[in-house]
Amino acid sequence: MRLLPVAFYRADVVAVARALIGKRLCRDGVELEITEVEAYRDGDTAAHTRHGVTARNAVMWGPPGRAYVYLCYGLHQMLNIVTGDDGHGAAVLIRACRPVAGLAEVQARRGGKRGPVLLTGPGKVAQALALDASFNHHVLYEPGGLELRDGPAPTGLLAGPRVGIDYASAEDRAARWRFAMAGTPWVSQRKTLTPL
């Protein structure tokens, strides 16, 4: 499938988040279908941008179509995709995927696990793709390294509140900016999701 052009990323972060379901993350023979994401908006009290521009979140404010990779809880890398124009601070967190190709490689990186436990969680996705801090700022719309490619449109979408943001305002905690593919077991914490 074709590489998605930079224009794909320039839209509103919630629209891009929905559009990302079913797209493919590719790296060196490993191909993952995105099944679950969360949008983090500019002015969002749940987002890393909530304190303005900092060294860590700088890439979120930059041009779209780049990766924002950061370390969470001192252990887990998280992959985000920067959206919106340069100067706008927003990104989409990749929360879960389904393996399409390179299953043996993914299993090796994930401790030999099998089934949805392999890829249903943001730290797991980054581990499966062997991502580290060097992928921060990586351009996703050019060939080489990590790429985002088109995929078949999903038959249905689920939505719900985002996970792990108890520190945010009540309004932002309630916002249904988490999206997932309907009809697949490759999604984390399914209970809080309902049809969009």
Asked if residue 48 binds DNA (CB under 7 A), the reply is yes
Using CB under 7 A, pick the residue from 65, 84, 102, 122 that binds DNA: 122
- Which of 143/166 has CB closer to DNA? 166
CB of 128 to DNA, least distance (A): 10
d(CA 193, CA 188): 10
Instruction: Fill in the per-residue mask, 58 to 87: x = in contact with DNA (CB under 7 A), - = not in contact.
Output: --x-------x-xxxxxxx-x-x-------
Q: How many residues make contact with DNA (CB under 7 A)?
A: 41
SS3 content of the chain, % helix, strand, coil (to 5): 25, 30, 45
The token pair that represents 91 in the structure block: 């990104």
CA torsion 172→174→177→182, rounded to 10°?
170
Burial of 40 (0-12, 13-18, 19+ CB in 10 A): buried
Judged by CB under 7 A, the stretch of 13-21, 28-36, 105-113, 144-152 that binds DNA is 105-113
Binders of DNA among residues 151 to 180 (CB under 7 A) are: 162-167
Task: Please count the other Cβ atoms lying within 10 Å of the Cβ belonging to residue 42.
Answer: 18
Query: Residue 182's closest CA among 171, 166, 193?
Result: 193
CB of 167 to DNA, least distance (A): 4
Q: Is 134 left (phi over 0), alpha (psi -120 to 50) or beta?
A: alpha
Using CB under 7 A, pick the residue from 25, 26, 32, 91 that binds DNA: 91
Let me know: does 194 contact 159? Beta carbons within 8 Å.
yes
Asked if residue 149 binds DNA (CB under 7 A), the reply is no
* Contact residues for DNA, defined by CB under 7 A: 38, 40, 46-49, 51-52, 54-57, 60, 68, 70-76, 78, 80, 91, 93, 110-111, 113, 117, 121-125, 162-167, 188
